[in-house]
Amino acid sequence: MAVNKSKYSFDFEEYDSIEDLSPTDALLVSEARKATSLAYAPYSNFKVGAYALLNNGSYLKGSNQENASYPVGICAERALLASIGQLFPNEPIVSMAISYDNLNGKSNKPLSPCGMCRQALQEYESRVNQPIRLLLSGLEGKIFIIEQSNSLLPFSFKGDDLK
Ligand code: THU
């Protein structure tokens, strides 16, 4: 019996601190960290901030907005994508920094975007035909940089699958 084994992997960069980043990347990470303060997260106490640079030079922020009816809440990344969709329709995103402030316990492990946001980011990338560079971090310390968000969602379900 023939079995083809395949492997999926991707490269990412790991930085020890914001001081090791380029000025633009440092600004994005610092603003994403600040944007955590805009989160409305009284249920999870997990405040997420996102900050994006668009091709047209605009910067926009997002944060998670929760609800007493838990599934109604929206993540920071998708709140930001929704803003971009209204303010600058179809404008490609150069980079998006995402950070968090976990009031339940301190950790500076770089944020891992949830599956639903990975799906939304990937759709945005395909729709405007440009990868979104992700800068993932906690409030301090390490930053992971991933050149395209779809690396985080292998075997993803896409619009083409509906044809
Ligand atoms: N959350 C985000 O905003 N982004 C993520 O990538 C992970 C999770 C939010 C959703 C919810 O308000 C809280 O964090 C805890 O899951």
- E strands, the chain, are 13-15, 46-54, 59-63, 93-102, 133-137, 143-146
Any ligand 1 atom below 6 A from CB of 75: yes
| pTM, full prediction | 0.96
pLDDT in tens, the chain (163 residues): 678 999 999 999 999 999 999 999 999 999 999 999 999 999 999 999 999 999 999 999 999 999 999 999 999 999 999 999 999 999 999 999 999 999 999 899 999 999 999 999 999 999 999 999 999 999 999 999 999 999 999 999 999 999 9
**Ligand 1 lined by 35 (C-beta under 6 Å):** no
Contacts of 111 (CB under 8 A, 6+ apart): 48, 98, 99, 100, 136, 137, 138
Tell me the β-bridge partners of 33: none
- Catalytic residue from among 19, 77, 91, 123: 77
How many angstroms separate the CA atoms of 94 and 153, rounded? 19
Give yes or no: 77 in active site: yes
